[in-house]
Every structure is written in structure tokens, then in C-alpha cells.
Amino acid sequence: MIQSVWPYLAVMLLAAGFWPAIERRFGWKVFDVLPPIVLTYLTVTALSVAGLWTASPDIHLAQDTLVSRMVPALLFLLMINCDLRAILALGPRVLGVFVCTSISLFAAFVLTFLLYRHWMPGDGWKPLASLSGSWMGGTANMIAVKQAIGMSDTSLATTLLTDALCYSMWVVVLFAVARLAPAFNHWTRATSSADTAVAETAPRAPATGDSVLLWLGLAVLVSVLSAALGSRLPVGSMISPTTWTILIATVAGLVAAHTPLARLPGAQAVSSALLISVVAVLASQSSFAGIAAAPLYLLAGVTVIAIHAVLLCLAARVFHFDLYLCGISSLAHIGGVAATPVLAATYSRSLVPVGILLALLGYILGTGFGLVVAAVLSQLAT
């Protein structure tokens, strides 16, 4: 049984790297349904339940310190590859479908909570709020919202499973409806966006040992400074020092993305490693207790997607959006950077950069979107 920090950290790092390595080596079909980040969470949770380590004061302190420092550092690194100027240059049509997608998701989360709140516990809005951060941006935004609103670690397992399973279902639907594009575009009186052209960003050099160390050191420094500044700013019922820390780190990343520093390779590699490491540390503090509520939240997740799809189709009818843009924008929200380019390439290769940029825009706005949803749901819960 592990009772000290360093063996605990060794297990966390091994667990964080195991499933991504298996996916890269074998590419099993199970990863289409349960991605490595979910399997990592479940694996570490199972080890925790089995009693591989105890919640000693040293380990508990290490867990709290790692999460509080790694989440702002992670968000800073994720913003480095975001180019706001390129996103704004996409034009009103693409940005319009992105805004409509965001509004439809916001309405879907609110309506779904109103439908199911009587079957949810008092803080049952929190998993939906953290899920909204993920479905605007990604898992990092989910974790950031989770930290900001004080959601319990056991609820994270339910949120991750809902995210993974509902997302997998939606990806299949979006791939399948591609052949319906002519009929859909005729119904919305839209022209196809397959000829949309956005310049590809220049390929980045691979990460090197020194660049990884520089990014890691810089990210930790930004995290520490953000926490110091956040502790000095005014707080309220929905704004805590942790919220300020997260927002400051995000803004710092956006600023750094438009400086020569952004050309230094390695930010993506470090952020990927930090993300799954954060999930492993969070899982080490939880148990399977939260999974008992999974069926209700899976139903809620399906309901959110169904309402979102109906509202987005109505918006497409009003504003003459084509199916390709709607599908790419929807997956840019719910799926993120990893899946959106694949769907865009299936529709039309010229739309791949659009998918990437919209997914990056989702990352930028994901945490703020989740906090707004949290504020509304918390008021409805009372």
C-alpha cells in the first residue's frame, strides 16, 4: 500500500501514459467508444478503490497542489495554438453558424435541466455545467469548470462517461448524414460550403527536450502568477479566486499565442501530457460512487444533443446554413480539435482548417461558457 508521495506520483504518470500508448500501438476499436482519457480515469479510480494508496496527509496535499497548479498551466498551454485573427477572418457566415451552435447548446442544457431536475440531487446541476464546458470546448474546459464550481471528484466519472458515450453516438450520426447534404441544403436554401478556403497554418517543428522543459516551466510560472493575482481580485457567489486564476491563465495563453513565443515547438505535447495527468490525479481522489447516477445523466446527455440538433436545424433554415457547416460546428463544440478535422475531411478537404479553427475557438470560450451555464442552472436549482 502506497503512503508516500513519490510512489504515488510514479503510479499517476504510468497510468496517464499507459492507455495513450496502447491506443497508439494497437488502435483497438474500443477507443472509438472509450477514449484513453476515460479509460485512464476508470483505471486509476479502480486502483484507488482497491486500496493501492491511502489518503495520507502527504498524498492529500500533493493531490490538491497538483490540481490547483496543473489546471491553469494546462489552459495556458492550450491557448498557445489559438489564432484569433485567423478565426475572425473566416467571415460572418462561419462565425454565425458557430454562434447559433453555441446558443442552441446553451438552450439545450437549460431545458434538459428543467426536464430532469426533480430526479437530480441538490447539486445535480454541477455535472451538467461541467459537461457544458466540455461540449463547448474540451475535457480541459470540463475540468476547469469543475474546479471553479466546486464539483465533487466522484461526479467527474459520471460526467466523463456521459461525455464519451454521447459524443461517440453523435459522431456516428454526423458521419452518416453527409449523404443528406443536398436535400438539407435545398430545405435551408443554402449553398454548399465545400469551396470555403482558409489558409493552412504552417506545420510546427516537433517537440524537443529543451522546448518541453521551457514550456513546462513557463506554464507553471503562469499558473503561480495567475493564482497570486486571482487571490487579490474581488470574489462573489459564482466568482472565486480559483475562477479568477483560470480566467487569467486563459487570457495569458491567448496573449502569448500572438507573440514570437508561440513559434517555439512543444506546447501541444506538454498540454496533452498535462491533461491526462490531471485526469489521473482527479481520479485518484474519487471512487465509483458517482457512477450510480450515470443512467440519468446519460439520458440527459442524449436529450441535450437532441434539443441542440433541432434548434440548430431551425437556425440553419432561418439563416441558410448548409449541412457541412452545421455538422462541423456541432462537432467542433462537442468533439473538439481531435475529431472535427476528420469529419471536415469527410465532407470536404477544404473545410479541414475551418473545423480546426472553430474547435480552437470553442476551447477559448469553453470555460466561460461552462461558468455561464453553471450560473443559470444554479439559480434554477434554487
Residue type, 378: S
Asked which of 19-33, 128-142, 294-308 is least confident by mean pLDDT, the reply is 19-33
Q: Check residue 198 and give its pLDDT.
A: 45
pLDDT at 376 over 70: yes
Grid cell digits, residue 203: 506545420
Length of the chain measured in residues: 382
**For the residues 153-160, what does the mean pLDDT come to?**
82
Interval 116-127: pLDDT, tens: 999 888 788 999
Residue type, 201: T
Residue bearing the bigger pLDDT, 32 or 41: 41
Contacts of 32 (CB under 8 A, 6+ apart): 168
pLDDT at 212 over 90: yes
Residue bearing the bigger pLDDT, 252 or 349: 252
pLDDT at 238 over 60: no
Q: Check residue 201 and give its pLDDT.
A: 47
Q: Check residue 98 and give its pLDDT.
A: 94
Cα angle 337, 225, 219 (rounded to 5 degrees) comes to 35
Range from 73-82, 96-105, 151-160, 174-183 that averages highest in pLDDT: 96-105
pLDDT at 199 over 50: no
Task: Compute CA 347 distance to the chain's CA centroid, rounded to the nearest angstrom.
Answer: 23
Cβ proximity of 282 and 107 under 8 Å:
no
**For the residues 331-356, what does the mean pLDDT come to?**
79
CA R_g for the chain: 20
pLDDT at 264 over 70: yes
pLDDT at 197 over 60: no
**For the residues 136-161, what does the mean pLDDT come to?**
86
Q: How many CB atoms lie within 10 A of CB 322?
A: 23
Q: Check residue 291 and give its pLDDT.
A: 57
Q: Check residue 254 and give its pLDDT.
A: 86
Grid cell digits, residue 7: 510512489
What is the chain's mean pLDDT, rounded? 86
Contacts of 37 (CB under 8 A, 6+ apart): 19, 139, 160, 275, 276, 279
DSSP helix, strand, coil percent of the chain (3-state; round to 5): 80, 0, 20
Interval 103-120: pLDDT, tens: 999 999 999 999 999 988
d(CA 253, CA 323): 33
Grid cell digits, residue 224: 503561480
